[in-house]
Structure 1
Amino acid sequence: MIKLYWNKVQLNFEKVEWSGTDTQASRQITFSIPVNPYDKGFKNASIKLGDIVTLYSDKEKLFIGVITSREKSAAIGTASYTAKDFMHYLLRSSTSRKFVNKTPEQITKQICTEAGIKCSDLAKTGVNIPKLIFEDQNLYGIILKAYRKAVGKTKKKYMLTMDGKKLSVIVKGKDSKVTLDQGKDITDASYSDTTDNMVNLVKIYNESMQQVGKVEKKKLTQKYGIYQSTYTKEDGVNAKKEAEALMVGITKEASVEAIGNIRAVSGRSIVIYDKATGLNGKFYITSDTHTFENGVHTMQLELVWQNIMESGADESADSSEKKSTDTSTGSSNNRKTKASTEDNKKTYDEGAVAYYLENGTVFHSNPACASLKGATPLKTTVSGVLKILNKKGKNKGKPKYRKCTKCWR
């Protein structure tokens, strides 16, 4: 039985949606409750922004979070609320830090201490990172980048989750122990595949921008053409393994609607048997929405075949390695704008379309870029995005966004 509590008071909800994704992984609930401001005998819940709400399935706590938005109408009816778990504090807070000879676990503990968030279970890597420098990056992305550095050695993918009010870092893709069968659990399903996110060639460069190697999936380049990305070699890191981690093949996606199971959540794997779409075997959940209404639990899942980890925050170079920003332009018919720092090596048309996230520092040429998976970017032009300046930190007054090396060629 699903129960929703506010200030230890059980709410009589009409509908609750509990949802999350495997990127920007703050889970949330939206719920609606009956209201009647004109009836003095009706007990209206005076829920305020910042109040804590908790969702239970029987005695198991599914969610605890903070009310971040609410909507009421003048008419008699319902009021709607949205609450987000405590991960959103890591997503909304930024810092500038330098870490030397630290493991991802140690970095995570330091970041959580700064944010006032306690740690629960942190996946153990034992991987020492020689140096990591971040400038005005969100705390979530810093932790994720630290764990990303361990992937080459551990061969595991990682994901941040909240265990109540405490942060956990788990191995991504673990079995949810859920199996869905056509005609039994599944009510609808669809399938698609695309090459839009493909990366089949990665060139490896040193700090002097000289190519020192490459990795390539020849079968894919021969069949589909070259979709190229780049990787800059780092001290103490296996460049070949890191470059291989950037490779993306054919992206296969599926959507399933089924009878709800609280174990089927983003970041976990699931087994599907559906003859109509050919969905048979193991899949990874990238997005889940569980709906509880009139005593019925249903869910909608977005699935992929490949277990992919987020890239995390953008690193800063040492001050001695930083290059100046150049935003000069050419003639009015063929004006060019140069991106900041290392992006000055390439130029872009001012009028080219660019996509970006408000809480990010990178702009993209394609909304389907793998780095944007699970997020809805804002659309502008290269000229427009480079006019957005940092409002604080060492780079105050300088362009906030630089090009994504995955999708800009």
Structure 2
Amino acid sequence: MILKHYTTKTETVKNQDGTMSQKETTVLTDLSPLVKGRITWEGSRLQVARRLEFSYAFEPRDPNLQQYVINLGETIYGYDEDGNKVFEGNVYRLERNTQQSEIQVVCYDHLFVLCRSKMTHKFTDMTAEDITKAVCAEMGVIVGTLAETGKKISFIAQEKTGYQIIMIAYTEAAKQINAAKTNASDPDILFHPIMAGAALNIIKKGTLIEGWQASQFTNTENSQFKESIESLIDRVMITDEQGNVTGYQSNDEWIQKYSMFQDVYKTNPNENAQEQIKAMFHGPDCAGVLDVLGDYRVKSSYSIPITDIITQLTGKFWVKSDTHTFENGIHEMRLEIEFENIMNKEEMPKDPQASKKIGSGNMDVGRGLQQGFNAWDGATMPDGRNGCVEAATRIGSYYSPYLKSQYEAGTASVSNLVANAGRANVVPFDESRLAVGDCVVYGDNDHVVIYAGNGMYVGNNSSANGGTGAVGQGGIYNIGQTPTKIIKTSQM
């Protein structure tokens, strides 16, 4: 790898009028004559910002040696032998060693900015690719080619790094895409961020590197392979909240081959049981490491074909981590291999209160409405002053199966709440037709609350919390809008 560094030089020049002035010029300097020893260029699925490390000669006491200075924050470029740029990143660490007469330089590519910088933002009905563009615009990162998903996502990112936000968006998009597969045997679509020079690309995780393979007959210097079933879990006992056994799930193929190793899942109404149980299964652990001749194209997040009869590493595998070294004109790399395509998933943020305060939908109306209101009184909804549907569905989830289902579906607009109820369950507003637990709709589907009896409502109060909104109560005619419809949720 050829390393280069931009420096600014100041020269004294003579102007046309005979006066002297200072002129700055930018020069791209080849560091090759100064680099000492090994250059290391590496990355992994877990360390998405690629790291470049090298040392260069620096000895102020030697008048014959060029006194070259690299500063923190400056940009280093790496090129292959054909002049193609393979790395661009900034200097994040400098270590001076007087005895060795050298300075060690540690750089990261521009994904490091996204991994370290945080923001808070609400994203509404935006695709993963548009969310990525918004994050990069906020953090000053150039956007390259982004994998297109077409799936719209909404969530609130509270003090999340740019990388976390991007991966939340692409994790959710991947879930939607894979859930819609017509052929269950098709591989899942997964995504991964990677820098191409100064620009951020989002690629399909596991993309095959065409025209290259690791082979014991041509380019593999050493290979290691190990496997273990010490952490195997192939059966899960399922219990209810009181500890009573309700069933089992098992992987019969593993049990027949390796024997049975069992874990226990205790049912939690606030969790997706199937997802939790699936995550508890743990198959054989496999690990492989290859030492091969270097190729700039081989990096983590891609897949490679391997032919190695001795270790039985033959087939398609995924690069978990790669370490490229350059020394004495020789380019070598160590590759850590994964045996399945794994994405760095970031789950969508959940309302920390929601998991504790959602009802079962089967209480009687009066008691359920009181418990629902007690649970959410004073709480601010994710949509703030516009969170009237969120408040109604959360409070109503204690007694109304319909309102509980609308909460679980993520319904957030009054129009959708009305439409999803069906015509038979929506009637023109008439106070004589109101029952405790019904939803009162205002204007042209502009606002909704729950009728609590005696002319009172419970629901979101847009003027609370300094205008940011919070759950409260009041008179149904004191909202400042005209009630127009009733959703008969007391009966749904």
Distance in 2, matches of 1:217 and 1:160, equals 34
Q: Partner residue of 1:16?
A: 39
TM-score after normalising by structure 1: 0.68
**1:91 aligned residue (100, 115, 128):** 115
Q: Partner residue of 1:264?
A: 298
Distance in 1, matches of 2:148 and 2:273, equals 22
Alpha-carbon deviations, 1:94-139, whole Å to 9, x = none?
A: 222332222211211121121121211111111222x323322221
Distance in 1, matches of 2:65 and 2:267, equals 62
Distance in 2, matches of 1:287 and 1:39, equals 40
Distance 1:103-1:199 versus aligned 2 partners, 3 A rule: farther
**Matches of residues 218-297 of structure 1 in structure 2 within 5 Å?**
218-220=252-254, 223-226=259-262, 249-297=283-331
Distance 1:25-1:50 versus aligned 2 partners, 3 A rule: same
The alpha-carbon deviation at position 202 of structure 1 amounts to 8.6
**Matches of residues 76-225 of structure 1 in structure 2 within 5 Å?**
76-129=100-153, 131-152=154-175, 153-154=177-178, 155-177=188-210, 178-195=212-229, 217-220=251-254, 223-225=259-261
Could you tell me which amino acid in structure 2 is paired with residue 28 of structure 1?
R
The alpha-carbon deviation at position 194 of structure 1 amounts to 3.4
Could you tell me which amino acid in structure 1 is paired with residue 31 of structure 2?
L
Distance 1:82-1:180 versus aligned 2 partners, 3 A rule: same
Larger radius of gyration between Structure 1 and Structure 2: 2
Distance in 1, matches of 2:131 and 2:279, equals 22
The alpha-carbon deviation at position 320 of structure 1 amounts to 5.6
Distance in 2, matches of 1:104 and 1:23, equals 20
Q: Partner residue of 1:71?
A: 95
**1:42 aligned residue (28, 49, 65):** 65
Q: Partner residue of 2:5?
A: 6
Alpha-carbon deviations, 1:22-42, whole Å to 9, x = none?
A: 123000110111222211231
| Contact preservation (8 Å) 1:64, 1:165 | yes
Name the structure, 1 or 2, with higher relative contact order (CA <8 Å, separation 6+). Answer: 1
The alpha-carbon deviation at position 219 of structure 1 amounts to 3.5
Mean alpha-carbon deviation: is it higher for 213-222 or for 9-18? 213-222
Q: Partner residue of 1:31?
A: 54
The alpha-carbon deviation at position 82 of structure 1 amounts to 0.6
Distance 1:75-1:247 versus aligned 2 partners, 3 A rule: same
The alignment partner of 1:269 has SS state of strand
The alignment partner of 1:149 has SS state of helix
The alpha-carbon deviation at position 195 of structure 1 amounts to 4.5
Could you tell me which amino acid in structure 2 is paired with residue 48 of structure 1?
N
Distance 1:231-1:292 versus aligned 2 partners, 3 A rule: farther
TM-score after normalising by structure 2: 0.57
The alignment partner of 1:59 has SS state of coil
Q: Partner residue of 2:404?
A: none
Could you tell me which amino acid in structure 2 is paired with residue 11 of structure 1?
L
Distance 1:307-1:20 versus aligned 2 partners, 3 A rule: same
Distance in 2, matches of 1:228 and 1:132, equals 32
The alpha-carbon deviation at position 313 of structure 1 amounts to 5.7
Alpha-carbon deviations, 1:265-290, whole Å to 9, x = none?
A: 10111111112211111110010011
The alignment partner of 1:95 has SS state of strand
Could you tell me which amino acid in structure 2 is paired with residue 50 of structure 1?
G
Q: Partner residue of 2:78?
A: 55
| Contact preservation (8 Å) 2:121, 2:158 | yes
| Contact preservation (8 Å) 1:22, 1:286 | yes
- More helix per residue: 1 or 2? 2
The alignment partner of 2:141 has SS state of coil
Matched, 1:311 2:345: yes
| Contact preservation (8 Å) 1:198, 1:227 | no
Distance in 2, matches of 1:89 and 1:310, equals 18
The alpha-carbon deviation at position 184 of structure 1 amounts to 2.2
Mean alpha-carbon deviation: is it higher for 138-147 or for 297-306? 138-147
Distance 1:233-1:214 versus aligned 2 partners, 3 A rule: farther
| Contact preservation (8 Å) 1:94, 1:136 | yes
Distance in 1, matches of 2:79 and 2:347, equals 33
Distance 1:262-1:109 versus aligned 2 partners, 3 A rule: same
| Contact preservation (8 Å) 1:202, 1:244 | no
Distance in 2, matches of 1:98 and 1:66, equals 30
Distance 1:228-1:17 versus aligned 2 partners, 3 A rule: farther
| Contact preservation (8 Å) 1:215, 1:244 | no
Q: Aligned-pair RMSD on alpha carbons?
A: 3.3
Distance in 2, matches of 1:112 and 1:213, equals 48
Distance in 1, matches of 2:193 and 2:51, equals 14
Distance in 2, matches of 1:106 and 1:203, equals 43
